[in-house]
Structure 1
Amino acid sequence: MAAAGEPLYPIVVLIDELKNEDIQLRLNSIRRLSTIARALGEERTRKELIPFMIENNDDDDEVLLAMAEAVGNLIPYVGGVEHASVLLAPLEGLCSVEESSVREKAVASLCQIGSQMRESDLVEFFVPLVKRLAVGEWFTARVSSCGLFHIAYPSAPENIKNELRTIYGQLCQDDMPMVRRAAATNLGKFAATVEPSHLKTNIMSMFGDLTQDDQDSVRLLAVEGCVSIGKLLGPQDCASQILPDIINFSQDKSWRVRYMVANQLYDLCEAVGQEATRTELVPAFVRLLRDNEAEVRIAAAGKVTKFCAIVNPEISIQHILPCVKELSNDSSQHVRSALASVIMGMAPVLGKDGTIDQLLPIFLSLLKDEFPDVRLNIISKLDQVNQVIGIDLLSQSLLPAIVELAEDKHWRVRLAIIEYIPLLASQLGVQFFDDKLGALCMQWLKDKVYSIREAAANNVKRLAEEFGPEWAMHHIIPQVLEMINDPHYLYRMTILSAISLVAPVLGSEITCSKLLPVIVTAAKDRVPNIKFTVAKVLQSLISVVDHSVVENTIRPCLVELTNDPDVDVRFFANQALRAIDQVMMST
């Protein structure tokens, strides 16, 4: 029924809107479908709206996509789950259209509706729909049907279950590769609903057909099936029935299939269990690490650490590390980058001795790689090595390379080093930081790249938080304040930004005695950018210093800036003054 006070929505208006030449108008109409259905009421929605949608499914793909999504949400507007079956017909038509995104959305909506339908309605309406689609003349219908079996199967009587398994087996052998791909993609979901007795017979027979398919696009989808079906079988059955297929896939003539094996390797190892991984999959993984195709080596390199965590350190050192050393000098920069993103994680796996003997030389090699992303990936994971070998050995082995990278010509590498410095400083201690890294932190404040200067200003704050106000007063503030007179105005702006960030850490006393006089002096700078930055910094100090300082020092400075010839300086000065007034009113 329509809501109280809401007029019945005339179906003729919807017809006019959906036949309008303006696609946007048609889209808006479809997107208001639930509103229209509520206005029509449950009975009129079932008897007028749904039949109209069945007859008018020949439209622009964008409109059909919106329709496929909207229909899936109409159960409350047709009278609840007892009438949900009326929504199947419009979606069935959409399951056969040419545009794949429309079909996928229609299948998703059918699954959404089917999961809510009563068991008797599933048998009476949903199962026949699946069977019709599965034997449809157009391959598009058969493709769509593959995604619906897992909804239809559990509620079906035994004789219909036998029929559904037979039909799915036929889809796995369909003449059209697109249908076989859909069958391979959805086999895992279907298998999860099938009884264990049929899993090892019917399902494994279908899976066998897909693994032997002459299309590599089907076989690579079967690789994903190895994981989902393997988890259903359990490690022992998986090792006997799935493992041979995995090994064959790792040597497949198509690099795309081998790539899929490398990409899914960790999940495959979990499915077959540790013992089978150590005895059978190590040689397969070594082949993938040494594959002729760079894409395969990239995928395999990214799984090195996870794979080594499954097998024991001895196997890793004997079989995997020789390949890792080769990959660290691979001709493809993307392979080296993939390796660098995970290799630091091998340190906890191999332990202290294995890391020192085997991994450190590889780390140093990758830290000197000509490709910036390789160096970045190593730098970002240094803490994983520190936890294993300790900071003393880490600083002796890797810190010289890190200091060299701090002056790297690629600004992203310098940025990565800056972001890592506070953590490194906390691990190294104050003395080591002052001796080796302190000068670098000051140097970054005058970098040519804005992002570096910005990160360096944040770095000053984080170091002050790490080592305390007293340390910052003696080691950071004098050097920072010295730079406020730099002839380049961009560097002077960076120093003002650093002061604004570090002031809350240092506290009111140091801010008033050391920082505020410098800021007030900078308010007389000849460059407008400096002056409006001063206004913003003074505004940030309102919450740091006492009210008396605000009134006696900050406010007069800002009032003077409100008379500046530059409009931006006047704007930020007035904004800061308003902020002062608000604070004073609230106290």
Structure 2
Amino acid sequence: MNPEVELYPIAILIDELRHDDVSLRLNAIKRLNTIALALGPQRARDELIPFLDESIDDEDEVLLALAGELGDFVEYIGGVQFAHILLQPLENLAAVEETMVRDKAVESLNKICPVLNQSQLEQYYIPLVKRLTSGDWFTSRTSATGLYAAGYSLALPATQEDLRKAYGQLSMDDTPMVRRAAATHLGTFAKKVTKEHLIAAIIPIFNKLAQDEQDSVRLLTVTDLVAIAEELSPEECKAHFSQTLKTLVADKSWRVRYMIADNFVKLSKAVGEDITREDLVIAFVRLLKDNEAEVRTAAAGQVPGFAQLVDKETILSYILPCVKDLVTDTSQHVRAALAMQISGLAPILGKEATTEHLLPLFLQLLKDEFPDVRLNIISKLDTVNQVIGIELLSQSLLPAIVELAEDKQWRVRLAIIEYIPLLATHLGVEFFDEKLGALCMSWLGDSVFSIREAATVNLRKLTEVFGVDWAKQTTIPKVLAMGTHPNYLYRMTTIFAITAMAPAVTPEVIRDYILPTVTNLVTDPIPNIRFNVAKSIEALIPVLLQNPDTRPLVEQQLKPALVKLSEDTDNDVRFFSQKALLGVN
């Protein structure tokens, strides 16, 4: 051990923890493990932990760090047989006013609890939980709710019964914050009890919370319902939850309905096919037609997931009519959520139904006034393509795609560019050149750099699709012509484009077309052009060195160009050219 660590006196720690400077106190807390090592397990237990327990009155930032450190402190006080010593300071931290500190203390207590033996649990941990549960301040009672699940499985049967009863009391606490905490942790607690006790004790607690007067409590019971239902058979779910589900779906608070909508697929899977078929289809339709946009948005996000759980006839009869209404919803956020998810219906419905029912909706969404709607539908078209084929998709949507290629929102244009190579693969070269060729070149002159950059990558991908001969006749001459354009941005785009295309073309094309343009731009008056030429040459060198026929060109043309640039008056040009020279030498 480091002698400096061995001699670390606790007095220094005390001085730092009592210092007026918060950063010093915080730093001392973060070095507790080092200090504990210096003190040794015995002194850590006898001196350090009691001192820390007395130092609870501090800034929240310091207490938060302390609560986190103590959770990983078992090894520094002599191992698991002494782990219970850490419970006292953490109990105090779990009762402070600041929520983040309490949550961190509960997290640390949940780390320590599993390493306790049954004697430690019954003698120290359970009494701690009971003290917090019966605390005068709501802060301690809220923390208590998060501690039941960790200790329950290890406790004696009589203690388990006490814990179930005590949790029931917390769920009826006068303070809404405590009931919220009880609802938050009920699902985790439910996973620990036997099915018998789940039905006899936990479900009554759930029902009480699900009918709470506070909607902030009721909404938290939705995830509890999922957790509990996962532990029951479909028949048991039907017996215990059918009415509760109907009540929650029709809750007067939109926040509760939102939570139901947002968790609808999980809920449906948990309760089983019978309830889903008999009750949840109508419930889902109700949520899709909810008068609050937030609820409709959440429900729209669940459409494909829920559709997988029901038959095709149900989708066509109940869900699809709602989807058609959502396409023209007054809320742009609802339409955007639907656009992100609607393509997921295609694999479920199949080619014929997708063509008949979904394609018109896609077309409508592609023309939506809100850019996020257009962007979301474009980003998911590949799913539809896999079902109906690119030929049918392109015939139906190509006019809209061409229109979107010039969309005023650059993110929409970017999404279209990324989709072009897939279209090209299936459209064929003649149709592509006629309908989309000019568009692909126009993007090279876009005002947004990200579009110009994506356009150069697009040219490489198109070269890979249609071949080098096509590129020599269509794209390369136009790209090279931009190298003499008066606007330096066009010349810059030429550099980016030929660099991007180089790996996809033949050595002859590099020699005859690309290198002359690169070497001509070595003397460009704009420094930005010149240092990008150096970067382009650096990228071209390994491509040329791979082929014996083009390897001499590196020495004959590229190295002299780099030498010239390395003597440039601009610092950046010299830097990038000297960096590129390292790949030659």
Relative to the length of structure 2, the TM-score reads 0.96
> What amino acid maps onto 1:99 in structure 2?
E
Question: 1:145 offset after TM fit, Å?
Answer: 0.6
Question: 1:563 offset after TM fit, Å?
Answer: 4.0
Q: Which residue of 1 aligns with 2:555?
A: 551
Structure 1 residue aligned with 2:564, among 560, 568, 577? 560
Judge conservation of contact 2:29–2:66 (CA < 8 Å) in 1.
yes
Q: Does 1:142 align with 2:141?
A: yes
Query: SS in structure 1 opposite 2:582?
Result: helix
Q: Which residue of 1 aligns with 2:403?
A: 404
CA RMSD of aligned residues (A): 1.5
Question: 1:3 offset after TM fit, Å?
Answer: 6.6
* Post-superposition CA distance 1:287-344 (Å, at most 9, x none): 1111111110110111111111111111111111111111100111001000000001
* Post-superposition CA distance 1:411-439 (Å, at most 9, x none): 11111101111122223333332232222
Bigger shift: residues 126-135 or 523-532: 523-532
Q: Which residue of 2 aligns with 1:76?
A: 75
> For the residues of structure 2 that align with 1:528 and 1:50, how far apart are their CA atoms?
64
Q: Does 1:210 align with 2:214?
A: no
Identity of counterpart residues, as a percentage? 56
> For the residues of structure 2 that align with 1:509 and 1:239, how far apart are their CA atoms?
73
Bigger shift: residues 563-572 or 531-540: 563-572
Query: SS in structure 2 opposite 1:445?
Result: helix
Judge conservation of contact 2:391–2:426 (CA < 8 Å) in 1.
no
Q: Does 1:94 align with 2:93?
A: yes
Judge conservation of contact 1:528–1:566 (CA < 8 Å) in 2.
yes
Judge conservation of contact 2:234–2:274 (CA < 8 Å) in 1.
no
Q: Does 1:109 align with 2:108?
A: yes
Judge conservation of contact 1:330–1:336 (CA < 8 Å) in 2.
yes
> For the residues of structure 2 that align with 1:240 and 1:441, how far apart are their CA atoms?
61
After TM superposition, the structure 1 = structure 2 runs for residues 515-554 of structure 1, keeping only pairs within 5 Å, are 515-545=514-544, 546-554=550-558
Question: 1:177 offset after TM fit, Å?
Answer: 0.5
Query: SS in structure 1 opposite 2:403?
Result: helix
Q: Which residue of 1 aligns with 2:180?
A: 181
> What amino acid maps onto 1:317 in structure 2?
L
Q: Which residue of 1 aligns with 2:503?
A: 504
Question: 1:528 offset after TM fit, Å?
Answer: 2.6
> What amino acid maps onto 1:318 in structure 2?
S
After TM superposition, the structure 1 = structure 2 runs for residues 276-425 of structure 1, keeping only pairs within 5 Å, are 276-425=275-424
Judge conservation of contact 1:3–1:38 (CA < 8 Å) in 2.
no
Query: SS in structure 2 opposite 1:73?
Result: coil
> For the residues of structure 2 that align with 1:335 and 1:19, how far apart are their CA atoms?
54
> For the residues of structure 1 that align with 2:397 and 2:410, how far apart are their CA atoms?
20
* Post-superposition CA distance 1:81-121 (Å, at most 9, x none): 11100000000000100000000000000000001111221
Indicate how the Cα distance of structure 1 residues 570 and 154 shifts in structure 2: closer, same or farther if over 3 A, else same. Answer: closer
> What amino acid maps onto 2:529 in structure 1?
I
Q: Which residue of 2 aligns with 1:585?
A: none
> For the residues of structure 1 that align with 2:480 and 2:454, how far apart are their CA atoms?
18
> For the residues of structure 2 that align with 1:458 and 1:356, how far apart are their CA atoms?
32
> What amino acid maps onto 1:141 in structure 2?
S
> For the residues of structure 1 that align with 2:2 and 2:210, how far apart are their CA atoms?
56
Query: SS in structure 2 opposite 1:242?
Result: helix
Query: SS in structure 2 opposite 1:24?
Result: helix
> For the residues of structure 2 that align with 1:171 and 1:527, how far apart are their CA atoms?
72
> What amino acid maps onto 2:259 in structure 1?
M
Judge conservation of contact 1:223–1:246 (CA < 8 Å) in 2.
no
Question: 1:508 offset after TM fit, Å?
Answer: 2.5
Query: SS in structure 2 opposite 1:91?
Result: helix
> What amino acid maps onto 2:112 in structure 1?
I
Q: Which residue of 1 aligns with 2:472?
A: 473
Bigger shift: residues 470-479 or 83-92: 470-479
> Which 5+ residue runs of structure 1 have no aligned equivalent?
582-587
Q: Which residue of 1 aligns with 2:264?
A: 265
After TM superposition, the structure 1 = structure 2 runs for residues 482-493 of structure 1, keeping only pairs within 5 Å, are 482-493=481-492
> What amino acid maps onto 2:578 in structure 1?
N
Relative to the length of structure 1, the TM-score reads 0.96
> What amino acid maps onto 1:274 in structure 2?
E
Q: Does 1:130 align with 2:122?
A: no
Judge conservation of contact 2:141–2:178 (CA < 8 Å) in 1.
yes
Judge conservation of contact 1:130–1:152 (CA < 8 Å) in 2.
no
Judge conservation of contact 1:243–1:272 (CA < 8 Å) in 2.
no
> For the residues of structure 1 that align with 2:387 and 2:566, how far apart are their CA atoms?
58
Indicate how the Cα distance of structure 1 residues 153 and 578 shifts in structure 2: closer, same or farther if over 3 A, else same. Answer: closer
Bigger shift: residues 242-251 or 135-144: 242-251
Judge conservation of contact 1:230–1:238 (CA < 8 Å) in 2.
yes
Query: SS in structure 2 opposite 1:208?
Result: helix
Judge conservation of contact 2:5–2:34 (CA < 8 Å) in 1.
no
> For the residues of structure 2 that align with 1:569 and 1:153, how far apart are their CA atoms?
68
> For the residues of structure 1 that align with 2:116 and 2:465, how far apart are their CA atoms?
60
Q: Which residue of 2 aligns with 1:245?
A: 244
Query: SS in structure 1 opposite 2:19?
Result: coil
Q: Which residue of 2 aligns with 1:494?
A: 493
> What amino acid maps onto 1:292 in structure 2?
N
Query: SS in structure 2 opposite 1:523?
Result: helix
Q: Which residue of 2 aligns with 1:446?
A: 445
> For the residues of structure 1 that align with 2:573 and 2:7, how far apart are their CA atoms?
60
Question: 1:559 offset after TM fit, Å?
Answer: 2.5
> What amino acid maps onto 1:394 in structure 2?
L
Question: 1:568 offset after TM fit, Å?
Answer: 3.3
> For the residues of structure 2 that align with 1:165 and 1:572, how far apart are their CA atoms?
70
* Post-superposition CA distance 1:541-578 (Å, at most 9, x none): 11122442111111222233344444433333333233
> For the residues of structure 1 that align with 2:332 and 2:58, how far apart are their CA atoms?
48
Query: SS in structure 2 opposite 1:542?
Result: helix
Q: Which residue of 1 aligns with 2:547?
A: none
Q: Which residue of 2 aligns with 1:584?
A: none
Query: SS in structure 2 opposite 1:580?
Result: coil
Query: SS in structure 2 opposite 1:310?
Result: coil
Q: Which residue of 2 aligns with 1:461?
A: 460
> For the residues of structure 2 that align with 1:388 and 1:376, how far apart are their CA atoms?
20
> What amino acid maps onto 1:537 in structure 2?
S
Bigger shift: residues 82-91 or 427-436: 427-436
> What amino acid maps onto 1:184 in structure 2?
A
Query: SS in structure 2 opposite 1:15?
Result: helix
> What amino acid maps onto 1:578 in structure 2?
L
Judge conservation of contact 1:457–1:501 (CA < 8 Å) in 2.
yes
Bigger shift: residues 473-482 or 456-465: 473-482
Query: SS in structure 1 opposite 2:259?
Result: helix
> What amino acid maps onto 1:15 in structure 2?
I
Question: 1:496 offset after TM fit, Å?
Answer: 0.7
Question: 1:5 offset after TM fit, Å?
Answer: 7.5
Judge conservation of contact 1:539–1:576 (CA < 8 Å) in 2.
yes
Structure 2 residue aligned with 1:580, among 576, 581, 584? 584
